[in-house]
Structure 1
Amino acid sequence: MLSIGEFSKVCGVSTKTLRYYDEIGLIHPDEINPENGYRYYSIGQLKKMLLINRLKSFHFSLEETKIILELDDEKLYTALHRKRNELQEKLHDLEYALKQMSTDISNLEKGIPMMASLDKIEVQLVETGPMNLLYIRQMLSSDDYAAGYGKYISRLYEKIADEKLTLLGMPMTIYHSQEYNPSGNDTEFAFPIKEPVQGTRDFPGGLCAMSVLKGPYSELTSVYARLREWVENEGYELVSSPYEVYVTDPNQTATPEELVTEVYFPVKKK
């Protein structure tokens, strides 16, 4: 048996943390002396503690770790695979941020304003036709979007395949909330299809201010800002919810810089 201090030293975890892990049910002492309350851990618990440390280094939360410890190898494989994809996305975002920061530093050295790129975003007026949309509409928090996109788009793909529906375009996301709310936003995932089956709705066409983003989704806010500025300056006003069309599939794109997204603002003249 190892005292809590010895166990702490071997595993590289403070005794305060070990007591907290005991409180939340992550790992309990193998034995507690009823007379003095001293905590003891068995040699066999070293492997479990090292696994907890490993999962923590993989950026699993303590709640996630608690669940993972009960999984069989097949489910553990799935959990690790999902987390690896999540970390890979964050790594791509960080790499892009570093690249963008280097560009901004270089531009400032040349006397170019940091947000000068906003003025270079092209906006055009386009007339879109009506569509029949197969859709799923959900309230999604800011943390849900990354996972939510794949989840709901995949569900729509499955319905299209199962019912042998005719796909007429790329996936779309329509944002219905009047303002951004981190706790939940009214979001609609959709595909244009030919057949008017259960779960579809009419989507009217019309005049739109449209811009194309070639790059990571993190840059979409710049496109939205530019479109909103253009709409105001050109004497138009929004008439319905903005939406995005994903020209490229993020699952089949090597780098975020290769992503192509069209952003539409339905408008009319004031």
Structure 2
Amino acid sequence: MLSIGEFSKICRVSTKTLRYYDEIGLIHPDQIHPENGYRYYSIAQLKRMLLIQRLKSYYFSLDEIKEVLAWEADQAEEQLRFRLQSKRGEIEEKIRAYASVLGQMNSDIGSLEQGLSVMSFLDRIEVELVETRPQKLLFLRRNLSSEEYAAGYGMYFAKLYERIATGKLTVQGTPMTIYHSPDYNPVGNDTEFAIPIKEAVKGTRDFPGGLCAKSVLTGSYQELISVYARLREWVEREGYELTEAPYEIYLTDPFNTAEDAGLVTEVYFPVKKK
């Protein structure tokens, strides 16, 4: 048997933490002396404590760890494998996000070292006037929050491609998203997912062509806010005004692009001269 102090020293966790783990049912002392209340742990409990520490290092919450420890022995390995795969995906997503932030931070440091403003990157976003052609869109329109949009991007476009495959329709462009809400609402925004097709079938609509201010973003979708700001500033400065909802066209598939740096997105602001 190991005293709470010995157990604490081996596992490198404080006795205060061990008492808390006992309170929440994560790991109980094997024995508690009836007279003095001293706590003792068995050698076998070292393995349980090491598992707790390992799962904590994988960013499992204490509730998640408690759930893992409660699994039946015949299910534990398989269930843990699935849970670890899910947690790995979460961590990989955070790594990608941090990599994007780090890249942006390095760029800002480089600008400052050259005596430039941190916001000078806006001047490097090119804007051009283009005439777009009319298209026929197969579309789904939903009211989505930003979180729902991120999660639903693949789902809604997958539904559209499924309809295209079922109906043997002819694709004539890459996926696009049209933002109809007049302002940002964290609760939900009027968002249209669309794919240009040749045929006029149920669920399609005509999308007019016309004059647009256009920018191309190569990189993370997180930078789109800068492109929108640059386009809006350009439209105002050059004496134009918006006529329709802005939209994005995705030239690359995020699910088949290894890094954010390889993403290419076109942003269009339909405009006319004031």
TM-score interval, normalised by the smaller of the two chains: 0.7 to 0.9
Unaligned 5+ segments in structure 1 are none
Q: 1:12 to 1:123 in 2, by over 3 A?
A: same
Task: Give the paired residue count.
Answer: 267
Alignment of 1:138-157 (within 5 A): 138-142=143-147, 144-157=148-161
The answer as to whether partners of 1:7 and 1:41 remain within 8 angstroms in 2 is yes
Q: Is 2:137 aligned against 1:132?
A: yes
Q: Is 2:103 aligned against 1:104?
A: no
Q: 1:149 to 1:37 in 2, by over 3 A?
A: farther
Q: 1:31 to 1:188 in 2, by over 3 A?
A: farther
Q: 1:66 to 1:213 in 2, by over 3 A?
A: farther
Q: 1:141 to 1:212 in 2, by over 3 A?
A: closer
Q: 1:111 to 1:186 in 2, by over 3 A?
A: same
Moved more, 93-102 or 227-236: 93-102
Alignment of 1:155-170 (within 5 A): 155-170=159-174
Q: Distance in 2 between matches of 1:250 and 1:192?
A: 18
Which residue in the other structure is 2:28 paired with? Answer: 29
For residues 69-96 of structure 1, the C-alpha deviation after alignment (integer angstroms, 9 at most, x for no partner) is 6576555444433433443333233234
Moved more, 124-133 or 75-84: 75-84
Q: Distance in 2 between matches of 1:23 and 1:155?
A: 48
Q: Is 2:251 aligned against 1:252?
A: no
For residues 147-168 of structure 1, the C-alpha deviation after alignment (integer angstroms, 9 at most, x for no partner) is 3323433344344444544333
The answer as to whether partners of 1:133 and 1:202 remain within 8 angstroms in 2 is yes
Shift, 1:186, TM fit:
3.8
Q: Distance in 2 between matches of 1:42 and 1:80?
A: 28
Which residue in the other structure is 2:225 paired with? Answer: 221
The answer as to whether partners of 2:129 and 2:212 remain within 8 angstroms in 1 is yes
Q: Distance in 2 between matches of 1:228 and 1:111?
A: 26
Q: Distance in 1 between matches of 2:178 and 2:98?
A: 27
Moved more, 133-142 or 106-115: 133-142
Q: Distance in 2 between matches of 1:186 and 1:64?
A: 36
Shift, 1:107, TM fit:
2.4
Structure 1 length normalisation: TM-score?
0.76
Structure label with greater radius of gyration? 2
Which residue in the other structure is 2:175 paired with? Answer: 171
Shift, 1:214, TM fit:
0.9
Q: Distance in 2 between matches of 1:190 and 1:122?
A: 25
- 1:137 corresponds to which letter in structure 2? R
Q: Is 2:71 aligned against 1:59?
A: no
The answer as to whether partners of 1:29 and 1:40 remain within 8 angstroms in 2 is no
- 1:226 corresponds to which letter in structure 2? R
Q: 1:8 to 1:127 in 2, by over 3 A?
A: farther
For residues 126-172 of structure 1, the C-alpha deviation after alignment (integer angstroms, 9 at most, x for no partner) is 23323222325242344x44433234333443444445443332222
The answer as to whether partners of 1:141 and 1:181 remain within 8 angstroms in 2 is no
- 2:92 corresponds to which letter in structure 1? Q
Shift, 1:190, TM fit:
3.0
Unaligned 5+ segments in structure 2 are none
Structure 2 length normalisation: TM-score?
0.75
Q: 1:41 to 1:130 in 2, by over 3 A?
A: farther
Q: Distance in 2 between matches of 1:264 and 1:93?
A: 25
